[in-house]
Structure 1
Amino acid sequence: MATSRARPVGRRLLRFAESRKNLAGCAGGLAGLALTFTGAAGSYWPLVVAGLYGAGALIAPPERVAAPHFPDAAEQLDVLREDFVRLRQYLASIQLPPAASGRLTELDGLLDALVAHGEWHTDPDSFHTLARAVREDVPEAVETFVRARWWTRFTPGNEPPERQLEHQLTLIHEELTTLAAALQDAETQRQESLTHYLKDRRRN
């Protein structure tokens, strides 16, 4: 316990030793020692050294506080791809009805294609939609189905929970299909713009 308490104290002392105020104070203190060696400080040299150290520490510029680091688009995409791998591992451990399993297979293929897409920095809103599907919509739909399925043994005759799951997966698939279509349209427009540019350049 004593060692763990000593470490933060040691780190604080090290940060102070490397700080601008301490370095400027040390420079002032060295100037005071120089005056002492030349005899200019006289018998009051300890006060001179301490005073110059304090003056140097006071006039030193404040420490620069590092700006917070926020993950860029590439880092966010890498994290999302890792989350998608974990989602797949989770889904592989759940036994689903054939219809829901088929719908989930289609959704998995679409998600795989979207996650592989690397131009999300130009469309943060669409990236948010994709991330929400991976981290919230799909796992929540499956987890809710698992919990509801457990209760069917006590409440026979109610609507089978797999129907709700199929409906939810269909809605998620439709939303992501719209997203994929928008991406395709953007790529088509980019391709057409390049064609027009090459034609115009040739005319000129």
Structure 2
Amino acid sequence: MATSNPGFWRTRLGRWLSSTKNIVGSMLAIGGLVVHALFGFGVFWPLIVIGVYLIGALVAPRDRVDLRLGLDEGAPPEDIAAQVRIVQRETRRLDPAAAQHLTGALAALTDITERWHELDGAVDQQHTVEQIAGDYLPTSLQTYLNLPRNLRAVGGPAHHELVGQLVILEQQSVRIRDAVYSRAVQALDDQGRFLREKFTRSELDLGGTDSAGAAKPTG
């Protein structure tokens, strides 16, 4: 079950400590210390140990991005807000156009969670917000970020698809927020269906993923 506090391992330091790059670098550094204890590297042993750590960190593959907390159906607003903060940290990795739409969607979602009680009785709309924050946004963003760098070029097909998805999610998030403000939530009955149809099609893959979730280059 998701919690409102994603914990230390979701912070930048925590993600680095648990990353493959840090683990490989640390193993090589430990190996260097063992060799130093047995044979001695002389006065330069600290530099050698640091060097082998850096080599390990450089050659190890980068970990795949995973932004989803795994929100339960009917998640409290605190959990949704925690998911929003996780996605928000990745804004710096996007170009200005994509970051603008992501920021707009996240700002609207934040406003909604702060007035969550005003959605009491509007179960369909609450579920739509949960899907946007817990599935559609993090899935779109992490799928894009897990593509090889050459496929993430600004203006390329994957970037164009990402921006298109972020525009839709921003629009729908703002629409719900405005409905909450104007107390017109019941006018949004068809919104969840629209998003399910849009984000369950293969275009979400931004170039395709295999059954294990690994990105596949587009032709």
TM range (shorter): 0.3 to 0.5
Return the TM-score normalized by structure 2. 0.44
Pick 1 or 2: higher relative contact order, CA cutoff 8 A, min separation 6: 2
Larger radius of gyration, structure 1 or 2?
Answer: 1
